Homo-oligomer: A and B are copies of this chain.
């Protein structure tokens, strides 16, 4: 039995209260937020703009996530695109598609999760859209500011490859949920990473002027490295030993426990929203760990003990 649902008008007012409360993110660029046909902003200089959608049954299942988690991670996933450009968030719009049976209490949980992520990213939600649909989905669009964006196409032969943030933990967390693994502290930490990923906004901003190119890892190192290789027309060489030394200790321990390869998870499992960057070795910041290098050529290769193999394929929502 679902709780009573209020009108679309009242729902929007309720969302506005949740998003505009005392601790909510604020932005000086926002002149008018929720309530008119469009938000009104004052923007100057170079902006980056992204949109990302998370759909129930495709990107998440409610079995393993609270509605707050779903709101939180959908916002972080979208914000991660700004991090990958080195941009400072300005503000966001949120378009929600809700099943007919979705209650006001459920909507509040979803929006509280979005609001928490918006606060962490210092990126207020200034408007959006509500519609009905057969399955829950969240489409988030963000504007950010950056004078010199980090492009996928700017990697150069001779660059070092850097990893910023952890990769693989999220994939292990999901694996543990799917296979109902018995949890220990490390496995639980990986599950928490999958439930609450964090866009690397601050690090992204600090990479501007250091890295040439960047991408956020939504599909694992191998697939996302391929995007840089194609866009920059270069070869990316990932070094297994470097990746392994860069992995989080919780991931290594949890993978050991579950009989999985932490390296394989880092290469092929997604949704960590770490950043992979290419830049001159001498400019690598302390928070970035070296995981390979860029050469003339094409494709993504994995080097291990001095031998190389070609890595191919990225996660594709449309292939079987």
Complex: how many Å from CA A305 to CA B164? 71
B43 & A141 in contact (Cβ 8 Å cutoff): no
From 5 to 58 in chain A, residues with beta carbon under 8 angstroms from any chain B beta carbon are 5, 7-9, 11, 31-32, 35-55, 57-58
Q: Given A55-B133, A132-B58, are A152 and B37 also a contact pair (CB < 8 Å)?
A: yes
Complex: how many Å from CA A149 to CA B37? 10
A220 CB–B CB distance under 8 Å: no
B39 & A43 in contact (Cβ 8 Å cutoff): no
> Quick one: closest B residue to A39, CB to CB?
B49
In the complex, how many residues of chain A place their beta carbon closer than 8 angstroms to a beta carbon of chain B? 70
| A153 CB contacts on chain B under 8 angstroms | 35-36
Complex: how many Å from CA A52 to CA B85? 25
| A131 CB contacts on chain B under 8 angstroms | 53-55, 58-59, 317
Complex: how many Å from CA A316 to CA B10? 11
Q: A89: shortest Cβ distance to chain B, in Å?
A: 11
What number of copies of this chain does the assembly contain? 2
Q: A255: shortest Cβ distance to chain B, in Å?
A: 28
Complex: how many Å from CA A293 to CA B43? 35
Indicate the member of A8, A11, A317 with the most B CB atoms within 10 Å: A317
From 123 to 139 in chain A, residues with beta carbon under 8 angstroms from any chain B beta carbon are 126-135, 137, 139
Complex: how many Å from CA A319 to CA B133? 14
| A133 CB contacts on chain B under 8 angstroms | 55, 57-58, 135, 137
| A37 CB contacts on chain B under 8 angstroms | 48, 50, 81-82, 84-85, 152, 214-216
Q: A216: shortest Cβ distance to chain B, in Å?
A: 6
A93 CB–B CB distance under 8 Å: yes
A260 CB–B CB distance under 8 Å: no
Complex: how many Å from CA A314 to CA B35? 16
Complex: how many Å from CA A241 to CA B190? 67
26 of the cross-chain contacts (CB-CB < 8 Å) are A32-B149, A35-B231, A36-B85, A37-B48, A37-B82, A37-B214, A38-B82, A38-B85, A42-B45, A43-B45, A43-B46, A43-B47, A44-B44, A49-B93, A51-B94, A51-B127, A51-B141, A53-B95, A53-B129, A53-B139, A93-B141, A95-B139, A100-B318, A130-B318, A131-B317, A133-B137
